Amino acid sequence: MNELFKGKKALIVGGGIAGLEVANQLAETGVTVHLIEKTNVIGGHVSQWYQVFPDRDLADNIVNNLKNKTKSKVNFHFSTFITKSEKNKNDYIVELSDGESIVADTIILATGFDVFNAAIKEEYGYSIYHNVITSVELEKKLKNKSKILTTTSKEPENIAFIHCVGSRDEKVNHRYCSKVCCATAVKQAIELSEIFPNAQIFCFYMDLRMFDRYFEELYYEAQIKHKIKFIRGRLSEVAENQDETLVLKTEDTLSGKPLKLTIDMLVLMVGMEAPRDNEHIIKTLNLEKSTDSFLRNKDEHLNKNISNQEGIFLAGTCTGPKTISETIADARSAATEVMKYLNKQ
Amino acid sequence: MKNWGFTIPKANQINFNNNSLELYNKVIEREPSLLGCIFCGSCTATCSTGSFTYFSLRNINISLQRGETNHLKEIISKCMLCGKCQLVCPRNVNTRNVLLSLMDILNNN
């Protein structure tokens, strides 16, 4: 192993893919890495996903790869959070909830995101009507290979995906786009079309943001091969029939007419939001939030991973929504910033 | 019964549950490239007929997909089959064959 930074110590907060990748990169250069994770599992949200867009690789492959790279090189602290932090010259003296105290040269935050609580958009009927589920719940069903049935135990014949639930919506204080939901919806629509080849599947979108490499191909495959119907219009409200089917009301904005559609199952594409427990860490480490409630970085171009505190760096979705490949790239860029900083110490 | 002059107007709403997609399905069977349409409107923007009438291939495809097809036979007769729409389509839809197929199905049914 490289011993360039032997004797240097880094504390990483968050054991999702961003935290693991930073840990992996730093440990490679001889830094002693401590990683604290608030839950008792590693891999964060990605460990709950089934296949990832655009290539439909298994999410488990990504997590296991990072797990194997880090397991013998990183000191993991599970079910742990920071209780206190003090700066002494260039050192951070951090107390952890497990009683341990760590003196670190640098702290890297990889605290990730929370999934938007769909029940807040009451008009979509989540937790009120039967047969309204979130994209996260569907992903878990796909991962567990559990049978997907309506609450009346029927195979769904008409399924609708609603994009932008909790994103691009001032009413829930989230003006930003969550970036990953469009591609996830198209991916999940394809997966459901493979399970139910005779089902009619609809995607209701405001804009389809297929921005990254191979995303457009995924969209094209959904149209041509799976005959997924894309309707431009934001769902305004849902009502439930006696038989537990759902009636959607939207505007078909391309024909300029209101549209009514009865379906068996509704999937809400929930977006990302800043984690609620970030408040605690923001206070403890004197960090700043941006207008979208995610952590503030110095700028969006050349200093994406630099926080307002010297020696504290930011990696992954703690600075806003990112895809998995963007998160990994961001984690590597954070690790580079950390190495530059450690080199100067 | 006395006619009081009141009527219930037809709702200006697409009722997807009652509309039939039979015509649309026939067209995409003959020309599957239509499935790739992203409703960008390039075809309509370049259309010579569209400059003088309300002919719009994008609108025709939307109507087909929603099963709102009563007006199609009349409107489609305006197309001059010049094929400019096919030149500009970013998804390479064979628009000419879409239109020819649609004319054929509508005129022979």
Which residue from B12, B33, B58 is facing A257, i.e. has the nearest CB? B12
- Residues in chain A within 8 Å Cβ distance of B91: 220
Provide the pLDDT confidence category of residue B10 given band limits of 50, 70 and 90. confident
Instruction: Give B27→chain A minimum CA distance, Å.
Output: 13
Strand order in the sheet with A74-77: A74-77, A32-36, A9-13, A106-109, A312-314
* Length reported for chain B: 109
What is the rounded average pLDDT of the residues B51-56? 93
Q: Cα torsion at A308, A314, A316, A319 (round to 10°)? A: -10
What is the rounded average pLDDT of the residues A250-264? 94
pLDDT of residue A331: 98
What is the rounded average pLDDT of the residues A272-296? 95
What is the rounded average pLDDT of the residues A72-90? 95
- Residue A210 sits at the chain B interface (C-beta within 8 Å): no
Residue of A nearest to B62 (CA): A255
Residue A203 CA: distances (Å) to CA of A32, A151, B48, B89, B98:
47, 21, 32, 22, 24
pLDDT of residue A1: 58
Residue with tokens 């929930």: A270
Provide the pLDDT confidence category of residue A3 given band limits of 50, 70 and 90. confident
Burial label, A101 (beta-carbon count in 10 A; 0-12, 13-18, 19+)? exposed
Contact A107, A312 (CB under 8 A): yes
What would the DSSP string read from start to end of B22-58?
Answer: HHHHHHHHH-GGGGG-----HHHHH-HHHHHSS--HH
Which amino acid is residue A275, in one-letter code?
Answer: P
pLDDT exceeds 90 at position A345:
no
Which amino acid is residue A342, in one-letter code?
Answer: L
pLDDT exceeds 80 at position A2:
no
Please name which of A303, A302, A334, A298 lies closest in space to residue A316, comparing C-alpha atoms. Answer: A334
What is the rounded average pLDDT of the residues A91-118? 97
Residue with tokens 């952590």: A295
Q: pLDDT tens, A160-197?
A: 999 999 999 999 999 999 999 999 999 999 999 999 99
- Residue B12 sits at the chain A interface (C-beta within 8 Å): yes
CA–chain centroid gap for A269, Å, is 12
| Strand A246-252 to A237-240 pairing | antiparallel
Specify the DSSP element, H or E, that contains A219: helix A215-224
Q: pLDDT tens, A197-222?
A: 999 999 999 999 999 999 999 999 99
pLDDT exceeds 70 at position A112:
yes
Reported ipTM: the value is 0.88
Contact B53, B77 (CB under 8 A): no
pLDDT of residue B1: 78
Please name which of A23, A46, A41, A43 lies closest in space to residue A33, comparing C-alpha atoms. Answer: A23
pTM of the model: 0.94
Q: Which residues contact A226 (CB under 8 A, 6 or more apart)?
A: A189, A190, A193, A194, A201
pLDDT exceeds 70 at position A241:
yes
Provide the pLDDT confidence category of residue B11 given band limits of 50, 70 and 90. confident
Q: pLDDT tens, B71-92?
A: 999 999 999 999 999 999 999 9
The percent of chain A in helix, strand and coil, each rounded to the nearest 5, is 30, 30, 40
Contact at CB, A255 and B35, closer than 8 angstroms: no
pLDDT exceeds 80 at position A250:
yes
Q: What mean pLDDT, rounded, does chain B reach? A: 94
Proportion of chain B above pLDDT 90, given as a percent? 82
- Residues in chain B within 8 Å Cβ distance of A232: 39
Residue A52: CA count within 13 A, CB half-sphere: 16
pLDDT exceeds 70 at position A325:
yes
CA angle A183, A166, A308 (to 5 degrees): 90
* Length reported for chain A: 345
Of chain A residues 253-282, which have a CB less than 8 A from chain B? Answer: 254-255, 257-262
Reading the block at residue A144, the tokens are 């567990």
| Strand A57-58 to A9-13 pairing | unpaired
pLDDT of residue A73: 95
The CA distance from B13 to A38, in Å, is 50
Residue A150: CA count within 13 A, CB half-sphere: 20
Provide the pLDDT confidence category of residue A233 given band limits of 50, 70 and 90. very high
- Residue A198 sits at the chain B interface (C-beta within 8 Å): no
Count interface pairs A-B at CB distance under 8 A. Answer: 44
pLDDT exceeds 80 at position B53:
yes
